[in-house]
Chain A
C-alpha cells in the first residue's frame, strides 16, 4: 500500500501552512451587534447564548475545494477572530500585531476601520480585561508587572476544555432533551438557586439550537455548491458533506466521517464561543472513533485509506486555526501560533485494559505524514502498552520535530485518583494543553498563571526588595548576609513563596468570580459533565471536578541556586554571602572566579547527584506546600504543575544574575529540565534526577530531552529511546519529549531562516517552527544540552 499524503491532502496541507495568519473581524462585529441588541434586556447567560447563536447564524461558511470536513473559526484558513468582550485591542495593538516580526497577524485597513468605529467604542470600557485589571490590588499589579507571576485569564477564557465520548453518543437534540428534563425537574419551591439554574439551562438550550443551525447551514451550502459543481466526483463528495451535516450535530453520528464532523462542529462551537487558552481538544480520539471505524471496516463501507484521509482532513482543520492573537505579558508567556489542541492516543480503556487500537496507529501515521504544528499529538503509554506502539511513537519522535510527546498513563491515573477522581473518569482522562492532567469531558482544570520560582529566591536574598523595579514586593525576611545557616535562608524563602502565592490566589478568586458571573460559556457547558445536571456553567463550577493550577517555572535554576549557596557559602565556605550578593549585583563582572565555581564546581540538578537533587525536592515541596490544597471559588482546590510554555524566557528576562552562575536576563530552566548546560552526565542521569520529584503530587511536569540524531540512530538507538521512556515512566515520570536535531543544524537555521522554513522543534509541551521563535528562545533551545553517547 502506498504511504504518504494523497493529492487532496497535499493541497489542503499546503494551503494551511502557506496562508498568512490574519485578523478576522467578523466575530467581533457579530458579538458587538448581539450585545448592543440584548445587553441589559436579558440575564447574562442568556445574553451569552444569544450572542453565540448570532455568531453561528451569521458567520461565513467555508468549503474549500477538496475538503471533506467543514467548518472554520474565521472566514477561512488562518483567519483569526478576536474576542473583544475579553480583550478589546487598541489600534496600536493591531499595528503591533501587523508589524511584529514573530507571531504576526496581518490586519487590513478595513479591519482597523471596523475596530475603530464599531468595536473600540463599545468595548473599551466593557472588556473583561479592563474589568479584571480594575479589580486587582496594587500589590497584585506590582507582582504581575515585575514578573513574579502571570495571569492566564486576563485576555483569554479558561481553557482545558477537552471532550470525552458523549458527543459521539448523543446529538444536540438529545442534549436539548436532557436540558429540558433538567429544567422540568427544578424545584422552585425548595431550591434557592432554582432560578439561576433555569437561566443557565435555558442558555444551554439556545446554544443547542445555535450549533444545529450552523450544521444545517453547512448542509444547505454544500448542496448549493454540489448543484453548481461540474466534476461528478466532487459533486458526490459535496453531497456526502451535506448528508453528514444533516445528521450531525443534531443527531449522534452514524459513520466515521460523521463522527469526525461532529467533533469538528463542536470544536468550532467551543472556540467561537470564547477564546479558551488552549482551544478545544478531542481527548482520546482513537478510543472515540474506533467503534465507528470497526463497524464500517467490517461492513465494507470504509477503507483504511479513506479513514486516514478523513483524519488528515481533521488535522489540517486544526492547523488552519492559529491561536487567538495575544498581546502584552500573555504574548510573552505563550509566544506561538499554536493553540494547544492536544490529541491523546493509546492509554487504557475505561475498564483499565490496553487502549491501543487500529485507529491509534492510523493517527500516528497521519501525524508522521502531515508533520503539522497543530494539533499537538501525544501518546499515552501505560505498562500495558504494546512494544510496537511505543516503538512506532519513538520512531516518529526521533525524526526530530518533537511529536509525539509521551505521557505516562499510569502516572496520570494516579495523579487523578489522588485528586479525588473516580477510577473510570481517571482512565478516560489524559493530558491536554502542554502536559496538564485532567478528567476529560468532566473537569474544569484551570491554569491560573506561571510562577517565577528563581525570582522568589532573588527577592529573598534582597530582603523582599526587587532591584529591577525598585519596589519592596516581598516580606522583609532579613538580610541574606545575616543568615547563619542555609536552613535560615530556606525558611525565609518559604515565607516569601507563601506571601506571593497568597497574592496570586487572592487575585485568582476575584477573576474566577468575574468569569462566573460575567462570562459564562453555555455552549461548552452542554458537553462538560455535570453542568446540565447541576444547572451550572463551566466557568462557575458546573463541571464534575474543578481544579485550579499554579505552574511553577524554573525549578532547575532554583535547585542549582540553592545548591550553589549551600555548597559554596555554607558548606565549603568558598565565598561569603556578601561576596555572592556583590557578584550578583555586578552580573559577575569582576567576580568571574565566583561564577566559575558556581557554574563548574558546584553540584547541579540533572546529574543524578543527590546533593543538588535533594535541594530540588525541598524547593518543589516548598512550592507544593504553598499551593496544594488551597480552596478555589468553584468548590475545588489548587494544585501545582511544572511547565513553562515560553514563560521561562520571559521570567528569565526579569530576573537578575542568579547564584548558580546564570547571567542576568538569561532564560530560566524550562519545565523540570535541568538548567541549560548543567546536565553533564547524559540522559539517564537527567531522567534519574527528574524522577526524584514526586510527579504524582502534581497535575503535570514537563521534561525536555535533546539528542544528537546519531545517538538514536539505528535499531539500538530506537530501542534505547524506548527504554529511556519506559524507565522514566517506571519511575513515575509524567511526560518526556524529544528534540532530535543537532546543534549545527539549529545554528545554521538561525543564520539562514529562509532555508529552514519547515524546521519544527519542540519548545515546551508543544512544537513550533524554529523561524517563528524569537532569538532568545532560539538561543535557549540551542543551549539545551545535546546528549551524545560515548563511542
Chain B
C-alpha cells in the first residue's frame, strides 16, 4: 500500500478554500522560500523537532535512544536525524514535551479515515479537504489516489500548490480537484530563484495550462515587505493573471508565526530580512487588483 509522509492534519480550517475544511500537510517541498513558516515541511523525510526552551537537560532522552542519535551540546540535547530510526522513545520519555515528531506515514485509507471524521461539517458548510504542504503534488501517485477516493465519496478537494511540479502531475488530478489554491510569489525569474531556490517559469507556465484545462483557481500571493510588495511587481503580476479567469486573489501578508520552528530544527531564521507589509500597503495593493477587476481579499 502506498504511503505518504504527512506532518499535520489540521481540522476546522476556514481560510483554505470554501467552508470548513480539513487540511492535510504533506512533507517535502521543491522550493525553499526564505519566509517559509513551515520549515518542517521542506524535507521529504521525517524529522524530530526539539525545543531547547522546554528542555531541562535531564538526559532521559539520550539514555533511551537505541542509536546514540542524541548528543549533549551547548544548544541542548541535539538530535542527529541521520542516525535516528524514529522509534519515538525520546518523545515518550520527555516529561517536558520538548520533542515532537514531524511526519508520519499514512496510507490513503488512514488519511481517508481522518478526513471522513469531519464530513458532517463539510456537508453543512460546503467545505471539504485541502491538500497542502510542503508540496502535496510531489507525491502525485499517492495524491492522485487520494483525490480520486475523495471524489468518489463526494468530498470536495482543494489543493494548495506552489506550482513547481511537472504539468503531467496536474493532469492526473485536474478533473477531480474543485479548486487550486495556486501560489505566485515573484514574477521575476532571477529574484524567484534568489528567494525560493527555483526559477519560476515552470510555475507560470503551469498556471496558464491549468487555466486552459478548465481548473478553478484561487491565487494566493504571500506579501513580504521589501521582497515582493513594490508597485511594479504587483502590476507585473496583475498583468500576467488578469486574463486568466482567476476566481479570487488572496493576499497573504507575511507573519512570523513559523519562526520558533526554525529553532526546533536547529536552523537559523532570517528575521532581519522579513517584515509584514503595513495595513495601508496591503490596502494599496488590494486596490490595484480591484482596479483590474480581480476579486481580491486580504487574508485566506
Q: Please report A residues at the B interface, Cβ cutoff 8 Å.
A: 592-593, 595-597, 600-601, 608, 681-685, 687-688, 711, 714, 716-717, 719-720, 723-724, 726-727, 730-731, 787, 789-791
Q: Which of B7-15, B74-82, B102-110 contacts its partner?
A: B7-15
B121, A724: Cβ atoms closer than 8 Å: yes
Contacting A at CB under 8 A, from B108-145, are 117-118, 120-121, 124-125, 127
Q: Mostly helix, strand, loop or mixed at chain A's interface?
A: helix
Q: Check A727–B95 contact: CB distance below 8 A.
A: no
Residues of A within 8 A of B255 (CB): 791
Tell me the smallest distance from the CB of B176 to a CB of chain A, in Å. 24
Per-position 1/0 for B42-72, Cβ under 8 A of A: 0000000000000000000000000000000
Can you pick out 15 interface pairs between chain A and chain B where the beta carbons lie within 8 Å of each other?
A592-B95, A596-B94, A601-B92, A682-B11, A683-B12, A684-B11, A684-B20, A688-B120, A714-B299, A723-B125, A723-B127, A727-B121, A790-B23, A791-B255, A791-B257
Q: What residue in chain B is nearest A720 (Cβ atoms)?
A: B14
**Given A600-B97, A684-B118, CB of A727 within 8 Å of CB of B15:** no
* Shortest Cβ gap from A661 to chain B (Å): 11
Q: Within the complex, what minimum Cβ distance (angstroms) separates A320 from chain B?
A: 41
B277 within 8 A of A: no
Instruction: Kindly list 15 other residue pairs between chains A and B, CB separation below 8 angstroms, not including A596-B97, A681-B11, A724-B121.
Output: A596-B94, A597-B92, A600-B97, A684-B11, A684-B20, A685-B117, A717-B14, A719-B125, A720-B125, A730-B124, A731-B120, A789-B13, A789-B15, A790-B8, A791-B15
The answer to whether B30 has its CB under 8 Å from any CB of chain A is no
Identify the 3 closest CB pairs spanning chains A and B, nearest first.
A723-B125, A596-B95, A790-B10
Question: A593-B93, A684-B20, A723-B19 are known contacts. Are A789 and B120 too (CB-CB below 8 A)?
Answer: no
Chain A min CB distance to B197 (Å)? 24
List of B residues within 8 angstroms of A595 by Cβ = 95
Given A593-B93, A720-B125, A723-B20: A688 touches B12 (CB 8 Å cut-off) = no
Tell me whether A608 and B20 are in contact (CB under 8 A). no
Q: Is the CB of A727 within 8 A of B124?
A: yes
Chain B residues within 8 Å of A791, by CB: 15, 255, 257, 300
Interface string of B1-26 (1 = CB under 8 A from A): 00000001011111110011001000
Q: Looking at the assembled complex, report how far the CB atom of A292 sits from the nearest CB atom of chain B, in whole angstroms.
A: 36
A593 to B92, CA, bound (A): 9
Query: Considering the chains assembled together, what is the distance between the CA atoms of A475 and B117 in angstroms?
Result: 41
B127: chain A residues at CB < 8 Å are 723
**Are B97 and A789 in touch, CB under 8 angstroms?**
no
CB distance from A659 to the nearest CB of B (A): 17
Distance in angstroms from B87 CB to nearest chain A CB is: 14
Q: Taking each of B14, B94, B255, B300, which has the highest tally of chain A beta carbons within 10 Å of its own beta carbon?
A: B14
Q: Is the CB–CB distance between A720 and B11 below 8 Å?
A: no
Q: Which residues of A contact B121 (CB under 8 A)?
A: 684, 687, 723-724, 727
Q: Is the CB of A789 within 8 A of B95?
A: no
A730 and B15 contact, Cβ closer than 8 Å, known pairs A593-B93, A684-B20, A723-B125: no
Quick check: A684 and B95 within 8 Å, CB to CB?
A: no
Q: When chains A and B are docked, how far (Å) is the Cα of A98 from the Cα of B147?
A: 67
Assuming the A-B contacts A685-B117, A723-B124, A723-B125, are A787 and B95 also in contact, with contact meaning beta carbons closer than 8 angstroms in the complex?
Answer: no
User: For the complex, what is the distance from the CA of A685 to the CA of B125, rounded to whole Å?
Assistant: 16
Chain B residues whose C-beta falls within 8 Å of the C-beta of A687 in the assembled complex: 121
B183 to chain A, nearest CB (A): 15
Residues of B within 8 A of A730 (CB): 120, 124
* Residues B13 and A790 in contact, CB atoms below 8 Å apart: yes
Residues of chain A lying within 8 A (CB to CB) of residue B117? 608, 684-685, 688
Contacts of A682 in B (CB 8 A): 10-12
Complex alpha-carbon distance, A787 and B93, angstroms? 27
CA distance A546 to B125 in the complex (A): 40
Q: How many Å lie between the Cα of A702 and that of B297 in the bound state?
A: 37
Distance in angstroms between the alpha carbons of A320 and B300 in the assembled complex: 45
- The minimal Cβ–Cβ distance linking B220 to chain A, given in whole angstroms, is 12
Chain B 209-225 per-residue mask, 1 if CB under 8 angstroms from chain A, else 0: 00000000000000000
B286 to chain A, nearest CB (A): 14
Instruction: Give Cα A684 to B129, complex, Å.
Output: 14
Bound complex: CA of A600 vs CA of B100, how far in Å? 11
B86 to chain A, nearest CB (A): 16
Shortest distance between the CB of B178 and any CB in chain A (Å): 17
What's the nearest-Cβ distance from chain B to residue A546, in Å? Answer: 36
Q: Which residues of A contact B299 (CB under 8 A)?
A: 714
Within 8 Å CB of A723, what residues of B? Answer: 19-20, 121, 124-125, 127
Q: Which residues of A contact B14 (CB under 8 A)?
A: 711, 716-717, 720, 789
Write the B276-300 contact mask toward A (1 if CB under 8 angstroms, else 0): 0000000000000000000000011
Partner of B12, one of A596, A597, A787: A787
- Inside 8 A of B92's CB, which chain A residues have their CB? 597, 601
Bound-complex Cα distance A731 to B125 (A): 14
Closest to B60 in A: A593
Bound Cα distance from A787 to B117, whole angstroms: 18
Q: List the A side residues contacting B257 at CB < 8 Å.
A: 791
Q: Can you name the residue of chain B whose Cβ is closest to the Cβ of A691? A: B120
Q: Which residue of A lies closest to B299 (CB)?
A: A714
Residues of the B chain whose Cβ atoms lie less than 8 Å from the Cβ of A685:
11, 117
CB-CB under 8 A from B16, the residues of chain A are 790
- B118→A688 contact, CB < 8 A: yes
Write the chain A residue with the least CB distance to B94.
Answer: A596
Expressed in whole angstroms, the minimum distance between the Cβ of A111 and any Cβ of chain B is 53
Residue of A601, A685, A720 ringed by the most chain B CB atoms within 10 A: A720
When chains A and B are docked, how far (Å) is the Cα of A596 from the Cα of B96?
A: 8
B122 to chain A, nearest CB (A): 9
Chain B: CB-nearest residue to A609: B117
B120 partner residues in chain A, CB cutoff 8 A: 688, 727, 730-731
C-alpha spacing A687/B94, complex, angstroms:
30
Closest to B8 in A: A790
Cβ distance A220 to chain B, nearest Cβ, rounded Å: 57
What chain A residues lie within 8 Å of B20 (beta carbons)? 684, 720, 723-724
For the complex, give the distance between the alpha carbons of A724 and B123 in Å. Answer: 11
Report the bound CA distance from A139 to B257 in whole Å. 57
Chain A's closest residue to B127 (CB) is: A723
B1: shortest Cβ distance to chain A, in Å?
22
Interface string of B253-269 (1 = CB under 8 A from A): 00101000000000000
B27 → chain A closest CB, angstroms: 16
CA distance A595 to B97 in the complex (A): 12
- Tell me which residues across on chain B come within 8 A of A731, comparing CB atoms: 120
How far apart are the CA atoms of A791 and B253 in the complex, in Å?
Answer: 11
Q: How far is the CB of A572 from chain B (nearest CB, A)?
A: 10
In the assembly, what is the distance between CA of A595 and CA of B94, in Å?
11
Identify B95's interface contact among A593, A717, A724, CB under 8 A: A593
A720 / chain B contacts, CB cutoff of 8 Å:
12, 14, 19-20, 125
Q: How far is the CA of A791 from the CA of B250 in the complex (A)?
A: 13
Cα–Cα, bound, A789→B8 (Å) = 13
Closest chain-A Cβ to B221's Cβ sits at a distance in Å of: 15
CA distance A724 to B14 in the complex (A): 12
The complex places the Cα of A401 from the Cα of B187 at a distance, in Å, of 46
Residues in A with CB closer than 8 Å to B13 are 789-790
Query: Which of chain B's residues has its CB closest to A787's CB?
Result: B12
Residues of chain B with a CB closer than 8 A to A714's CB: 299
- Assembly CA distance A247 to B222 (angstroms): 68
How far, in Å, is B212 (CB) from chain A's closest CB?
30
